[in-house]
Amino acid sequence: MLKILHKRPWFITNNNSYRFTDTNVWESTQKDFTFYVEFQMDEINTGDTHCIFCRPGKHMGVFAKNRNMFTWDFWDVIDGKSNFNDISFYVGKENLYKRYVMIISHDSISKRFKAKLTCLDDDKTFSKEIDYIGGLHDYSDTPFNFGIANYEHDLTDEHKAICQYTLWRAGLFDKLYTFQRIEDFLERNKDVKRNLVKPLANSIFLINTNELTKYKAYDNSGNCFNLEINIGLIKKIYDVEPWRTLDVNILGDEKTFI
């Protein structure tokens, strides 16, 4: 497992690879895709909006909202106007801090998102789908953020959406898979480190927190899209000049409630 600490977000950049892939990572959520993330929020998260995972800007991703629900947010564009959409799952405040896995599939032809949320502590499941009308907002120039949505000092907390949580696994495929296929894949590979028991084709990144270094989480996809601590964004959060070397160990524990 990997602890995503408050104001120490992690990310996957949209432009680095050590192998050739059929789909560029930066455009991988524009067409058909399947995504999953397994996580558990800390109780320090008491704000109205927290980001588990997203592509920032007009964000697309997994959020906790209103202290009682998890959502999949995204934007589409109709006649040049951006429109916000979400799939929301009410879980109640008493269940917000349990361990969950969310699976998302996007059918670009049908313009449909499907989402399934499963609580791993009590096996409760929720599933919904939503159709959208316009073209999906262009996320191709944005990174894959874990633990933060956006960050500028003049933004409201809702738009920063900082979160502290435990991450177990996350993965992205540029192919439609059923929820059952993803669940079977996760079950077969729950204890793996370097070698998958049975892989699925068309993986962009497969983040495995059973295998960690100090600043990276291992990628089982073979593309080396490692989840890394976002030093550049941490410098922005703490007003450190971009050219300065930053040792995150000197930041200390963040005591501010979020």
Tens of pLDDT, residues 146-179: 999 988 888 888 888 999 999 999 999 999 999 9
Does the pTM of the predicted model rise above 0.85? Answer: yes
Give 20 or 197, the one with higher predicted confidence: 197
CA angle 26, 30, 36 (to 5 degrees): 85
| Among 13-17, 60-64, 92-96, 180-184, the least confident range | 13-17
Domain hosting residue 240, numbered range: 2-251
257 in any annotated domain: no
7 in any annotated domain: yes
210 Cβ contact partners less than 8 Å away, ≥ 6 residues apart = 191, 192, 193, 218
258 in any annotated domain: no
Instruction: Work out the mean pLDDT of the chain and round it to a whole number.
Output: 90
CA torsion 91-94-102-83 (nearest 10°) is 50
Compute the Cα dihedral for 50, 105, 208, 230 and give only its sign. negative
CB 36 within 8 A of CB 171: yes
**How far is the C-alpha of 50 from the C-alpha of 41, rounded, in Å?**
9
Mean pLDDT of 120-139: 95
Residue 82, classed as helix, strand or coil, is: strand
Q: Is the pLDDT of residue 61 over 90?
A: yes
Residue 16 has what pLDDT?
Answer: 62
**How far is the C-alpha of 44 from the C-alpha of 47, rounded, in Å?**
9
Count, residues in the chain: 258
Number of domains in the chain: 1
Tell me the CATH number at 182.
2.60.120.200
Give the count of beta carbons closer than 10 Å to the beta carbon of residue 17: 16
Q: Is the pLDDT of residue 181 over 50?
A: yes
Task: State the DSSP code for 25.
Answer: G
Q: Is the pLDDT of residue 258 over 80?
A: no
Q: Is the pLDDT of residue 251 over 80?
A: no
Start-end of H helices in the chain: 157-160, 179-188, 231-237
Q: Is the pLDDT of residue 38 over 70?
A: yes
92 in any annotated domain: yes
141 in any annotated domain: yes
Residue 256 has what pLDDT?
Answer: 39
pLDDT digits (tens, 9 = 90+) for 10-26: 999 877 655 556 667 78
